[in-house]
Amino acid sequence: MKLWDIIKSANSNLLRNKGRTFLTILAIFIGSFTIILTSGIRTGVNDYIDVQLNSVGGEGYIEIMPKAMTEIMSSQMSLGSSSGPQEYNPDKNSLEMTAISDSDLKKLRNIDGIESVKPSQQISAEYIVSSKNKTKFVVTPQALPSDRINLDIATGRLIDINGDRPEINILPGYAEALGFGSDEGAVGQTVRIGVVETATMKTREVEATVAGVMNKSIINMGRSWVNVALEGKILDVMYTNLPDSYRDRVYFATAEWDTSLGDEGLKRIKDDMEKLGYVGMTFEDQVGMFKTFLDAIILVFTIFGGVALLAASIGIINTLFMAVQERTREIGLSKAMGLGRGKIFLMFSVEAIALGFWGSALGIGMAYLARAIVNPIASDTFLKDLPGFNLLQFDLKWLAGLVLLVMMIAFLAGTLPARRAAKKDPIEALRYE
């Protein structure tokens, strides 16, 4: 009996009890479909993030902050800590102790592979307003730290980072809100940014030119990017009537490193920073934290799919045991005609594998149907502000691997009933009623 004949026979035998076979395949389908969907969401999100990172660039750019500060922030952000509130320790909890000193800046610059290090000031603003509309809107300005970073500009151009003219790239939606009518109409227009004097708490306004309007992006995180000239004007207002020591105190820095060193070089640079008490993070590292959180959620749903597959494997065992019971005389007749134990075992194993194949294949088919329905709906509704974001994306190699995995699970589940069929005594089987 040839393998192809065994495969055709196995699929025909599955149709002897259509109801039982359908329920078994349905159980496999539920598990496979759940795993495929969760994987598709993960792939879709990661692909979108990767596209965003590629568009931003940032190769050779790294952000630096004191390790002690990251520990303070982590402890403050932790939820449900069993340790409870921590006692204040000025040596550990004071932000003054975690400011970056001039000597440390020199040490960071001396790290092999670092091309430049620039202290980064934290700027803040109360609002943004224009002469076209007196309504004030909340704004979060952020100085663009490096010319190696590209912003996803919808209209206009990227700010001239080191230009003498104060410039800003505003977020989408601000152009119309500020009264410019359209993104194109906002380019080249003057806006006023309200900044609070730290010493007096009075608000003063500084002017800036809109260089361009950005597309929505997870990289922007609600920030409007400004150049060095505008950053300086904002800092001048913030530290009016305060000693220079306040303005000179920095808690963050940015660096550029030699990308020819590769991943190993980057790892060594980060290790050298850590020895000095600092943490270095690239854009990929920052987004990687989000990916880790997403992967944890996806893992939970994948486990649910795995549990469904485990239940389905029990169904396969039950289905084949009943098939062996119903076909006892047929097994005896086949053995009497010279069919060996190996062929009998193979026949029932192929039936189990067929159950796994059809269940996983149905899961893939339904997943592609779900993608065709969900992606357009998502793009027109809750993802409409994120162009190019396809919620469900499938990796064909991964799907093929999943089918093989499910077929392997089905084979293992069918081993026990297949062995039972192979061991049957032909004489006793022929006497079976």
Mean of the pLDDT values across residues 171-186? 94
In this predicted structure, the answer to whether residue 293 has a pLDDT above a threshold of 80 is no
pLDDT band, residue 58 (cuts 50/70/90) = low
pLDDT band, residue 246 (cuts 50/70/90) = confident
Question: Can you give the pLDDT at residue 73?
Answer: 54
Would you kindly state where each structural domain of the chain is located, as residue ranges? 3-54+290-431, 61-275
In this predicted structure, the answer to whether residue 80 has a pLDDT above a threshold of 50 is no
- Identify the CA nearest to 375 among candidates 36, 133, 29, 40: 40
Mean of the pLDDT values across residues 159-184? 94
In this predicted structure, the answer to whether residue 71 has a pLDDT above a threshold of 90 is no
Question: Can you give the pLDDT at residue 1?
Answer: 58
In this predicted structure, the answer to whether residue 217 has a pLDDT above a threshold of 60 is yes
Q: pTM here? A: 0.69
pLDDT band, residue 48 (cuts 50/70/90) = confident
In this predicted structure, the answer to whether residue 333 has a pLDDT above a threshold of 90 is no
In this predicted structure, the answer to whether residue 274 has a pLDDT above a threshold of 90 is yes
Mean of the pLDDT values across residues 283-293? 75
Per residue in 90-114, pLDDT tens?
Answer: 555 444 456 788 899 999 999 999 9
Asked which of 155-159, 318-322, 427-431 is least confident by mean pLDDT, the reply is 427-431
Question: Can you give the pLDDT at residue 66?
Answer: 87
In this predicted structure, the answer to whether residue 431 has a pLDDT above a threshold of 70 is no
